[in-house]
Structure 1
Amino acid sequence: MPYDHRKSLTPALALLGCALGCLALVGCGGAADDAAGVPGATSSSPAPRASAAPSDPSGSADATGTTGSTGSGDDAPGRLPLAGRTVVVDPGHNPGNFRHSREINQKVDIGTARKECDTTGTSTNAGYTEAAFTLDVSHRLRDLLKGLGAKVVLTHDADRPFGPCIDERARTGNAARADAVVSVHADGSATGNRGFHVILPARVDSGGADTAKIVGPSRALGEDIATHFARATHTSPSNYIGSGTGLDVRDDLGGLNLSTVPKVFVECGNMRDPKDAALLTDAAWRQKAAQGLADGIRTYLKG
């Protein structure tokens, strides 16, 4: 979840949450910046546009859930549908952030302001951390996209003690000249607030941030993801953000402000709501979430 709207966990609860999250998954990892709590500014966005292609049921999944589809009929014979495309997947937060409060509290320039390098993220009431969730979904998404032929770059893979900072995450997508960047998160809002939402970049031209060229493409990417995420997971758009569209526009997130390539944040659900938490902690549902993200990215990139 975007950080500035979420409350960091107390050190004791944070350490317990990370430990339990790491027991639940083989790897923990994530970054912070942007997705959190109830964002302070929302916008009324049009309903997600109808997708050109449904969730692809034709590809067979192996034991890891990797789709083996060779794509739709408009692809050249033997050519995977996303061959030649680059997608950057950004797992939100990092489990090591709990142990590096000084470092992640250092502020960086996001164009419109200065903001903390990263945050700890949130967790379920039982202690399953957002960092563990985002890394797991990101791994599943990476495998699905690779199965479609895409080159996939992770901003981190729990291979560093903390971070990366939000500006570095943006630079990773920019340097890769990514065709799409998706930052995976889960929200930390109040009980009763349910559903997913996709955060889109607002028009920003301030300091080192200029989103003019990515606002339109990012919206198209977000709309396709919202449509396919709902279809794959059988969950509804947020009942507390986005006026039922599943879309939210923000100008306070460094990961979006500093991006020069199409990018969105996806809040897959609310970890603090028991019903949403039951989904987020279920491995089968996480696979559906990854499939919805992959289907949305594929539809966007195929035009």
Structure 2
Amino acid sequence: MSYSGPGPEPSHPRRSPLRRPLTVAVAALAAGGLLGWGVYAAVGGGDEGRAASAAPSGGAASPDDDAKRPAGSSPSPGTKSPSPSASGPLKGKVVVIDPGHNPGNFQHASEINRQVDIGTHRKECDTTGTATNAGWPEAEFTLDVAHRLRTLLQEQGATVKLTQDGDRPYGPCVDERARIGNEARADAAISIHADGSGAGNRGFHVILPGAVHGGGADTRPIVAPSAELGERVAGNFLRTTGSAPSNYLGDGTGLVTRTDLGGLNLSTVPKVFIECGNMRDDKDVALLTSGTWRQKAAQGMSEGIVSFLRG
């Protein structure tokens, strides 16, 4: 997901009195969860994953072998996903996982370029997302991590729904992605991405919905619970992966607020985006292409969601 596009966010910070800047150590995050995380309404701009320029065939690493065999993944799109555990702390809870983009979007330019209403304005149905310099697409990364996360949450008893599982030719559009979570009455929803920023820009960040009230969008009821969800995901992601918060967005907090993303604007359930790293930075790519690291990433997301849903 790249940030080169219209609609920049205000650069002034929006801080809640319940949140402080990120000054605690990883150990404190493990013990105290989210109390050390602050929210920063950083410059957003961009879209929900603007297509990167054609990726060169050389450069950064390609994903290791288990990229195509993620834990909990289906051998083929039609294979039935695992069932939730009969018992567990998340029994009765519904989680929607939104794997950003779709591997087939590249072949459906006209369909994904059509405009949809996201409340504040109109924008593309979807985009191709970015890719590593070696050509591994963001859409493959997001689906891999989504499968891993699904398995972990189902082991905790949750009912899990994916917005897409490589089982459709393109999309869904950003408005439909939000609608899937709304219609499922999800207790929590998370959209998984990787960024396409410049080399040297590193780290993860979690995107929180800002207050939007216009057109078909009204995020006001979900701003506070989404912020809590995002803080818990960010804290646990840092702890499990050891990855640092973004050095180019979020003022070092790993948290960014945006009002230009349809997947957040149109959501009526608590929802966040996570940008797991930068696919155009070699050091981040070494992590993103590692199956071991991706499992840690899914674990961090899972623990954050479990923490949020258990209260």
State the TM-score, normalized to the length of structure 1. 0.79
Please say if 1:191 is aligned against 2:199.
yes
Once the two structures are TM-superposed, the CA of residue 79 in structure 1 deviates from its matched residue by 3.7
Equivalence for 2:137: 129
> 159, 169, 178: which one pairs with 1:161?
169
Instruction: Answer whether contact 1:43 1:242 (CA < 8 A) is retained.
Output: no
CA distance in structure 1 between the partners assigned to 2:219 and 2:70 by the alignment: 37
> 248, 254, 264: which one pairs with 1:256?
264
Equivalence for 2:153: 145
Please say if 1:83 is aligned against 2:91.
yes
Please say if 1:40 is aligned against 2:27.
no
Q: What is the identity percentage for the equivalent residue pairs of Structure 1 and Structure 2?
A: 62
Equivalence for 1:297: 305
Once the two structures are TM-superposed, the CA of residue 236 in structure 1 deviates from its matched residue by 0.6
> 217, 220, 228: which one pairs with 1:220?
228
Once the two structures are TM-superposed, the CA of residue 64 in structure 1 deviates from its matched residue by 6.8
Equivalence for 1:244: 252
Instruction: Answer whether contact 1:124 1:271 (CA < 8 A) is retained.
Output: yes
CA distance in structure 2 between the partners assigned to 1:211 and 1:236 by the alignment: 29
> 121, 124, 129: which one pairs with 1:113?
121
The alignment covers a number of residue pairs equal to: 252
Equivalence for 2:80: none
CA distance in structure 2 between the partners assigned to 1:87 and 1:99 by the alignment: 30
Q: State the Cα deviation string for residues 162-221 of structure 1 (Å, max 9, x = none).
A: 000000000000000000000000000011100000000000000110001000000000
Q: State the Cα deviation string for residues 75-95 of structure 1 (Å, max 9, x = none).
A: xxx841111100000000001
Once the two structures are TM-superposed, the CA of residue 53 in structure 1 deviates from its matched residue by 6.9
CA distance in structure 2 between the partners assigned to 1:131 and 1:64 by the alignment: 14
Q: Which amino acid aligns with 1:186?
A: A
Equivalence for 2:213: 205
Once the two structures are TM-superposed, the CA of residue 40 in structure 1 deviates from its matched residue by 3.2
Q: Which amino acid aligns with 1:137?
A: V
Please say if 1:101 is aligned against 2:109.
yes
Once the two structures are TM-superposed, the CA of residue 253 in structure 1 deviates from its matched residue by 0.3
CA distance in structure 1 between the partners assigned to 2:278 and 2:8 by the alignment: 16
Report the more deviating stretch, 45-54 or 88-97: 45-54
Equivalence for 1:75: none
> 150, 158, 170: which one pairs with 2:178?
170
> 259, 276, 289: which one pairs with 1:268?
276
Q: State the Cα deviation string for residues 250-278 of structure 1 (Å, max 9, x = none).
A: 00000000000000000000000000011
Structure 1 unpaired stretches of 5+ = 8-37, 55-62, 67-77
Instruction: Answer whether contact 1:181 1:263 (CA < 8 A) is retained.
Output: yes
SS, match of residue 194 in structure 2: strand
State the TM-score, normalized to the length of structure 2. 0.77
Once the two structures are TM-superposed, the CA of residue 6 in structure 1 deviates from its matched residue by 4.5
CA distance in structure 2 between the partners assigned to 1:234 and 1:141 by the alignment: 18
Equivalence for 1:28: none
Equivalence for 2:286: 278
SS, match of residue 81 in structure 1: coil
Cα 1:213–1:115 change in 2 (3 A) is same
Q: Which amino acid aligns with 1:265?
A: F
SS, match of residue 213 in structure 1: helix
Q: Which amino acid aligns with 1:47?
A: P
CA distance in structure 1 between the partners assigned to 2:230 and 2:30 by the alignment: 11
Instruction: Answer whether contact 1:51 1:299 (CA < 8 A) is retained.
Output: no
Equivalence for 1:35: none
CA distance in structure 2 between the partners assigned to 1:140 and 1:172 by the alignment: 20
SS, match of residue 199 in structure 1: strand
Q: State the Cα deviation string for residues 129-173 of structure 1 (Å, max 9, x = none).
A: 100000000000000000000000000001000000000000000
